[in-house]
């Protein structure tokens, strides 16, 4: 009897610990999970952390690479970089103000850097002391405040999280993090005792809608580990959406999957837009100037017109637009970013019906100045003209049926 009881307990334990394989979910299950994300179309990326303190400069020298890479670009030792964490005190940060800016811009979801490559965590983590509560003078949980504000405003909260970590000795090939060509034998310890517990903590404390990974190019990381992490996270939160940088499947900055069964739910083109439509879900992440994290001397701002045209082009091709802002060390979104977001919000107030909850057409454009989208229910086709003309606009790709001629056509 004791023997049978032992077997029964073992079987129950195995069942309890069984992990569902979410990589094989049905198309119907996937479509249901991805629906809100596809309909959202427009998201805000926020790169923010201790790198906002040097703001692109170190020891009086300006570094040309993007602001959040200053630790790498300037080859700053770990102990020296920790001084920026001790100076990170964004007393002007107001989560509700940030979310209000996003809401007015027509943003439907926000993706913020919970931890970038420098390893500094902007939430109250119980896994490490290298976080906002223990290592900085600010001592406020940024992710909690922002998550609460997003929930109140009806905006989805999502987190960017770096797989690589320049601060953790077990995470990189060498303590000198500039040499990433050999595998750290202790990486499994970092993955199981640090990376996974932090991600579990983020899910349980803040319930993010998306986890957006990066830094997967290090030699320690493999597609097999990516698939394992994908399933681990989906078992914690079945409706979670995860980008394709969770594994090794993306093709460079183009960001789309190199093979069909790569881990992750959507492709991630970086600073570029696909040439045409795709059968896969995808999201172009792009900056307003030349950097992701704040750089005080980067004033190469794209115009509002360019940003709106990017949004139109991406929506017409069936993708999402993740547009970045890099707040200052004081906790403010730069005024040029706010101004451009206001312009986009004004345009979307009038034309948002042609952007949100739409799909692409096979013939998604005519020339360079007319882009098409179609409503999810198929009732409306939207022609978005991006250049004014005194001449009549001729839509050659659209055939008008008698039903449309009798009153189905709409103008905005």
What local confidence, expressed as pLDDT, does residue 65 receive?
Answer: 78
What pLDDT score was predicted for residue 313? Answer: 98
pLDDT digits (tens, 9 = 90+) for 168-191: 999 976 545 455 557 888 999 999
Whether the Cβ atoms of residue 354 and residue 412 lie closer than 8 Å to each other: yes
- The HSE-up count of residue 144 (CA atoms within 13 Å, CB side) is 11
Distance CA 12, CA 14 (A): 5
- Structure token digits, residue 130: 């290298």
Q: d(Cα 162, Cα 215) in Å, to the nearest integer?
A: 5
The tens digit of pLDDT for each residue in 259-278 reads 878 899 999 999 999 999 99
User: How confident is the model at residue 394, as a pLDDT?
Assistant: 84
Torsions phi, psi of 260, nearest 5? -60, -40
Closest CA to 244 of 163, 357, 346, 337: 163
Question: 3-state SS of 335-350?
Answer: HHHHHHHHHHHHHHHH
Q: What is the mean pLDDT of the chain?
A: 92
Could you tell me if 226 and 248 are in contact, meaning their C-beta atoms sit under 8 angstroms apart?
yes
- How would you label 335-353 residue by residue, b for 16+ Cβ within 10 Å and e otherwise? eebbebbebbbebbeebbe
Percent of the chain with pLDDT over 90: 82
Q: Domain map of the chain by residue range? A: 23-357, 365-408
Class of domain 23-357: alpha beta
How far is residue 183's CA from residue 118's CA, in Å, rounded to a whole number?
A: 19
The residue with tokens 């994290």 is: 293
User: What is the predicted pLDDT for the residue at 260?
Assistant: 79
Higher pLDDT, 85 or 396: 85
- Strands 370-375 and 57-58, how do they pair? unpaired
Which of 195, 197, 179 shows the shortest CA–CA distance to 119? Answer: 195
Task: Let me know: does 374 contact 361? Beta carbons within 8 Å.
Answer: yes
What proportion of the chain, given as a percentage, has pLDDT over 70? 90
pLDDT at 296 over 70: yes
The position carrying tokens 């992710």 is 143
Span 216-261, pLDDT tens digits: 999 999 999 999 999 999 999 999 999 999 999 898 888 998 887 8
Q: What is the pLDDT of residue 195?
A: 99
Query: Is the pTM for the entire model greater than 0.85?
Result: yes
Q: Are 52 and 329 in contact (CB under 8 A)?
A: yes
Q: pLDDT grade, residue 358 (50/70/90)? A: very high
- pLDDT-wise least confident of 19-23, 192-196, 280-284, 388-392: 388-392
Q: What is the pLDDT of residues 273-288, one digit of tens each?
A: 999 999 999 999 999 9
Q: What is the pLDDT of residue 391?
A: 83
Q: Each residue of 302-353: pLDDT tens digit?
A: 999 999 999 999 999 999 999 999 999 999 999 999 999 999 999 999 999 9
pLDDT score of 253: 83
Report the Cα–Cα distance between both ends of the chain, in Å, rounded. Answer: 77
* Phi, psi at 216, each rounded to 5°: -75, -5
Q: Where are the alpha helices (DSSP H) in 21-67?
A: 27-40
* 129 pLDDT higher than 50: yes
In 141-282, beta strands by DSSP E: 156-162, 210-214, 241-242
Own/partner long-range contacts of 88-91 (Cβ < 8 Å, ≥24 apart) = 88/49, 88/50, 88/52, 88/53, 88/120, 88/132, 88/136, 88/137, 88/138, 88/329, 89/136, 89/137, 89/138, 89/329, 90/52, 90/138, 90/327, 90/328, 90/329, 90/330, 90/331, 91/138, 91/330, 91/331
């Amino acid at each position: 009897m004791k023997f049978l009881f032992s077997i029964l307990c073992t079987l129950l334990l195995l069942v309890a610990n069984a992990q569902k394989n979410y990589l094989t979910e049905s198309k119907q299950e996937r479509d249901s999970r991805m629906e809100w994300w596809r309909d959202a179309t427009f998201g805000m990326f926020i790169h923010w952390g201790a790198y906002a303190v040097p703001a692109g400069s170190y020891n009086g020298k300006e570094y040309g690479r993007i602001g959040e890479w200053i630790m790498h670009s300037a080859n700053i030792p770990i102990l020296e970089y920790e001084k920026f964490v001790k100076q990170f005190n964004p007393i002007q940060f107001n989560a509700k103000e940030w979310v209000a800016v996003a809401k007015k811009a027509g943003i439907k979801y926000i993706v913020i850097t919970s931890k970038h490559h420098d390893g500094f965590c902007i939430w109250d983590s119980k896994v490490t002391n290298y976080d906002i509560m223990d290592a900085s003078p600010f001592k406020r949980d940024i992710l909690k405040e922002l998550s609460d504000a997003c929930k109140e405003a009806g905006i989805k909260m999502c987190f960017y999280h770096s797989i690589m970590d320049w601060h953790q000795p077990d995470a990189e090939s060498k303590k000198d993090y500039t040499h990433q060509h050999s595998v750290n034998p202790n990486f499994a310890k970092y993955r199981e005792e640090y990376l996974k517990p932090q991600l579990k903590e983020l899910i349980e404390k803040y319930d993010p809608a998306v986890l957006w990974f990066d830094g997967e190019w290090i030699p320690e990381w493999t597609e097999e580990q990516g698939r394992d992490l994908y399933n681990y996270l989906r078992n914690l939160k079945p409706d979670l959406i995860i980008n394709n940088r969770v594994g090794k499947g993306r093709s460079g900055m183009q960001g789309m999957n190199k093979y069909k069964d790569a881990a992750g739910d959507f492709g991630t083109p970086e600073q570029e837009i696909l040439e045409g439509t795709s059968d896969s879900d995808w999201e172009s992440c792009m900056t307003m100037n030349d950097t992701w994290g704040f750089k005080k001397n980067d004033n190469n701002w794209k115009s509002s017109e360019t940003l709106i045209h990017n949004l139109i082009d991406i929506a017409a091709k069936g993708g999402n637009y993740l547009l970045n802002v890099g707040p200052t060390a004081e906790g403010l979104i730069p005024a040029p970013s706010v101004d451009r977001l206001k312009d986009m919000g004004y345009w979307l107030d009038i034309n948002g019906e042609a952007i949100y909850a739409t799909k692409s057409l096979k013939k998604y454009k005519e020339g360079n100045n007319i882009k098409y989208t179609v409503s999810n229910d198929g009732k409306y086709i939207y022609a978005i003209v991006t250049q004014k003309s005194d001449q009549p606009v001729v839509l050659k790709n659209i055939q008008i049926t008698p039903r449309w001629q009798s009153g189905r056509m709409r103008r905005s």
